[in-house]
Chains A and B, each alone.
Chain A
């Protein structure tokens, strides 16, 4: 169920600055802002504009307007944000606008930083890569280094699970000999295979 905030606005002739209202949500709780308003005499609503601004830097949020702007849905990682709502009314050539600010806090730990540590390197080549590729093993510590052609098979004829993420990622990239760097089975980087042991070690470890 979405959390709906019904905001009844009092229209003024000028923009009114107010102390921002504060709303707090649990992590993963759906967030929707919905506005209700009364049009000033003779005026009609011309536009509703919403924005969400990241205050705490780092966490990310996105918003999308629905129902001609009457509803603003937000997807936000834990962190602090400011939601801005602008209403514009028109009567003939005369316009009135009202802007409101809301502080939004999404509880919970911040998402962990992306993991870029290489734990496995897979060399995919249909031509010989020795000795410069296997020679790199002595220089890369505990990082696993696999050497395979482009169509390896297990004893039961399937694509090896150990190599599948790298093979999938490398499919169609257009290099004849490919180096795929992974964290466990998450692909971090794909590049042409370096031509020397030293360059290969640097690509894997730097």
Chain B
């Protein structure tokens, strides 16, 4: 496959030690459960699995054909986490039930300011315990919120009643502890929220460029960045700043009403 080398291992240098501004705040704390050892796919099977997906014209990136633009806020973690959530929901229920979550509806609950940034594990916890809202691009939901800018904490009254439906399931985040787990998660359709050097992104697909394995990830600076919003990381950038894959979202009574019968319709 043709991959532009200029798009490999491009790491945004948003955050530097000593700076307060940053998107991803490094933390040793964790959340979720460990990636199950029984789910690990041996490295010598990766290439065959990649080829199988390719033969089916199948890619995780196709489940959520939408690219956020977090600019100018430092909300990368919630953009990546919301993307993981939306992709996994579409895997479970089908693309026809895809909706766009609002990263700001989570980021504004934990960030001290528009550029304070946030931790990955905190986002995992927030999407599990509290939940998020739909983007205001959706017209038929009771509670919606702006996707990103401007930073605001002015949430609609009663928003938690909607947000509690839009959560990752208990134990639905698996923490990634190795490159083998990283690749296995993607081959199992579990998108990964990971970070490196102060920026968090969403890993979508495992690829092979003929000589090495690459992760195709989606950034959160619109489709104008990279290849339609996507760039690539070699193994050296996998899981260097904490990583979690989304294995299961909560289930609705009716997939066309993910926020419940009073929360609106897709």
Contact = CB atoms under 8 A, between A and B. Distances in A.
Interface residues of B, number: 31
Given A127-B38, A149-B248, A160-B252, A137 B56 contact: no
A147 B91 CA distance: 8
Contact of A135 (B39, B58, B251): B58
Contact of A131 (B38, B56, B167): B56
Nearest to B184: A128
A155 B254 CA distance: 12
Given A130-B188, A154-B165, A197 B253 contact: no
Interface in A79-127: 127
B15 to A, nearest CB: 33
Residue of B53, B187, B250 with highest tally of chain A CB at under 10 A? B250
A146 B254 CA distance: 11
What secondary structure prevails in chain B residues at the interface with A? Answer: loop
Interface in B145-177: 164-167, 169-170
Nearest to A164: B253
B92 A147 contact: yes
B250 A154 contact: yes
B253 A153 contact: no
A74 B205 CA distance: 65
Given A127-B38, A155-B164, A155-B166, A161 B93 contact: no
B122 interface: no
A128 B91 contact: no
Contacts of A156: 164-165, 260
Nearest to B165: A155
A152 interface: yes
